[in-house]
Structure 1
Amino acid sequence: MTYGKKRWSTLMRTVHSVIKRTPRKYLAEIVLIDDFSNKEHLKKQLDDYIKLWNGLVKVFRNERREGLIQARSIGAQKAKLGQVLIYLDAHCEVAVNWYAPLVAPISKDRTTCTVPLIDYIDGNDYSIEPQQGGDEDGFARGAWDWSLLWKRIPLSHKEKAKRKHKTEPYRSPAMAGGLFAIEREFFFELGLYDPGLQIWGGENFEISYKIWQCGGKLLFVPCSRVGHIYRLEGWQGNPPPIYVGSSPTLKNYVRVVEVWWDEYKDYFYASRPESKALAYGDISELKKFREDHNCRSFKWFMEEIAYDITSHYPLPPKNVDWGEIRGFETAYCIDSMGKTNGGFVELGPCHRMGGNQLFRINEANQLMQYDQCLTTGPDGAKIMITHCNLNEFKEWQYFKNLHRFTHIPSGKCLDRSDVLHQVFLSHCDSSKMTQKWEINNIHSV
């Protein structure tokens, strides 16, 4: 099967499975949003094909690329027939009996938003299996770490105790974002997605916080199963359109924490210090929405709903310093080269772009990049980067005036070979220029 045919069959598989596996009396319409696609098969071929269903399936085309967040809000405005909106990505397959369990909680309480259990479809051979992680039954709650990356954590004992039987829907602090059901009017009352969120990223948290903090609830539904194809390795995604500007996802994260996290936003900035100076736009309308709707505090939310997240992702310590780690009076910086979980860091030309050259040293003496720590490799000398929690690899001190990093367990100093581009430990020698470093703050733009 050619790549083009595969894309077509994947989209149509989504549509066909919904039509075949949803009781006809409950299916008002299927709305497809074409987000300014340039794919040939999404034009006349699609228009001709959907005529098979005599108006049940509709296509609306955006006049410019809006990105998935605003495309979903547009979809809510275009879908006028159904009382409940159900969102699916265009690469899904709904299972038998997916519909009734998903909508039942909403029929009892219109301020409930529901999410099916999302199974994994292999994009190469279309085999399907349950998602990994979760508890012994595969049940997980949606969560995040403090740099706002999506996580799944096992269903807690507290939530299990609330249920009479294993198949009952359970509360989740957050959803992954692509697949969910919500009462149409309630979604509009929430203001849909923040119109300032662009393209992709953070919208799943924004809608989750808004639901919980403003009087609704979010449930995962074990009896509703939907398969979803995740990104294949090497898929780069579509670049954002020019009108969007740089760092749209990071700006989205900042908007979300500025509106919803209250004093907890400091933990985000501890994890993503480069975002502190980002211009994230006007949020006054969103703040007013919170006030007008008497939405609860993030502290309430963390204590009552998301109480188990900090045991999996503890609140990060404050930063002592952060930015690029530049060899003193050189043009070379420590660079993770995109490696994680055991790869060695290297020296690379400083580019002031952050990313693989953005590090932070915190009050717990960890030298970190995102959720990875620097430590010594198996030889005890070369420096590697590896995943860590807040109790691991508390090994570093930075003496700003001396331009020195010392490795506490060994008493040695951070050193480099400008010729071999290696970073390693050696005995401290204040006369060695290769042991001198500076940290320069970097701000995202």
Structure 2
Amino acid sequence: MSPVSIIIPCKNEGKFIKQTIESILDTPCQLPYDIIVVNDGSTDGCCTFLQGSHRKSLSKVKLVNTTGLGSANARNLGVQQSAGEILVFCDAHITVEQDWLEILIEGLLEGGAGAVSPGISNMEVRHAVGYGMTWGEHLEIEWLESTGDVAEVPIAPGGCVAVKREVFQDVGGFERGFQVYGHEDAEFSLKLWLFGYRVEVNPSVVIQHHFRSHHPYEISMDQYAHNALRMAMSHFSATRLGKVIALYSYLEDIEQLVSQLVLESDVLEQRRQYLKRRKYDDDWFMDKFQIPF
């Protein structure tokens, strides 16, 4: 079986990162795997248990310290530091169940999917389970219900998603121009679909996820809007790009955000490259999943 690398970005996760790693390590697994924790500038000491004398019992875990790459690029760095042919991206506030890894990876190796996610349950309200995500008419995230079987979904939740390394590299990984947090999983899933890969959810696996009422680090609306605009400039038609700009028109510096992306970043060149090599366009994607945007 191909070796697996579990990549966990982490910033100010408190007790949850330790619980997440313990859950993974304590769950029996027949597959060889390692865990890459990317500590992206935490200030709460949440990763100190991965250092010093505690290391002996955590031989499968590699700690990588950074100073604030942001959620997308912390994941990309984790890939660079990993060796697995299968990459499994997990949030730092989950718990897993028996056979979770084996079942997810089976969908990649035998089912031919480009990426596979499990059902995601609310750790505090366990009957609330989402099976993949989609967009609403204002590009807001909406959770999907289970169809009872493996199903294609527009967006694989970033809380847990498995992908082959070769597929990850083929699409260029997570968006390198993103700031801090926002839209990482949506952009990655969209890119997979447009480049010809299938994204699925397998309801046979459900992981528990802690849904936070607020982030443990600062995120500005400008940064969140930057990511949405960069995603739109990379993948959307001019009409849809205009709709995304309109969504954030209430921001005082929206014009500056747009001009900075156009004039000071590589997004237009990236757009040209993506449009050249993708197999489908955003109209196809929106029609396929009946997304009213």
Normalising by structure 2, we get a TM-score of: 0.84
* 1:300 corresponds to: 284
8 Å contact from structure 1 (residues 93, 228) kept in 2? yes
* 2:268 corresponds to: 284
Gaps of 5+ in 2: 1-12
8 Å contact from structure 1 (residues 147, 272) kept in 2? no
Aligned-residue offset at 1:110: 5.3
Among candidates 71, 76, 81, match of residue 73 of structure 1: 76
Among candidates 222, 236, 250, match of residue 247 of structure 1: 222
% same residue: 20
Aligned-residue offset at 1:21: 1.9
Normalising by structure 1, we get a TM-score of: 0.57
* 2:107 corresponds to: 105
Q: Give matches, 1:43-82, under 5 Å.
A: 43=48, 45-48=49-52, 50-53=54-57, 55-62=59-66, 64-80=67-83, 82=84
SS in 1 for 2:128: coil
Which structure has the higher relative contact order (CA within 8 Å, separation 6+)? 2
C-alpha separation between the residues in 2 aligned to 1:50 and 1:288?
49
8 Å contact from structure 1 (residues 50, 58) kept in 2? no
Aligned-residue offset at 1:153: 4.0
Task: Please list the CA deviations of residues 82-117 of structure 1 after superposition, one character each: whole Å capped at 9, or x if unmatched.
Answer: 211111111110012212221111002555201110
State the AA in 2 paired with 1:70. Answer: N
Q: Give matches, 1:56-205, under 5 Å.
A: 56-62=60-66, 64-80=67-83, 82-108=84-110, 112-122=114-124, 129-131=126-128, 140-154=131-145, 160=147, 166=148, 168-205=149-186
SS in 2 for 1:96: coil
C-alpha separation between the residues in 2 aligned to 1:41 and 1:59?
12
C-alpha separation between the residues in 1 aligned to 2:195 and 2:28?
31
State the AA in 1 paired with 2:209. Answer: H
2:39 corresponds to 1:34: yes
C-alpha separation between the residues in 2 aligned to 1:84 and 1:259?
26
SS in 2 for 1:273: coil
State the AA in 2 paired with 1:261. Answer: F
SS in 1 for 2:77: helix
RMSD of equivalent CA atoms: 2.5
C-alpha separation between the residues in 1 aligned to 2:57 and 2:137?
46
Task: Call closer, same or farther: CA 1:16–1:70 in 2, change over 3 Å.
Answer: same
State the AA in 1 paired with 2:205. Answer: S
Task: Call closer, same or farther: CA 1:218–1:259 in 2, change over 3 Å.
Answer: same
8 Å contact from structure 1 (residues 146, 267) kept in 2? no
* 1:257 corresponds to: 232
The total of aligned residue pairs comes to: 273
* 1:17 corresponds to: 23
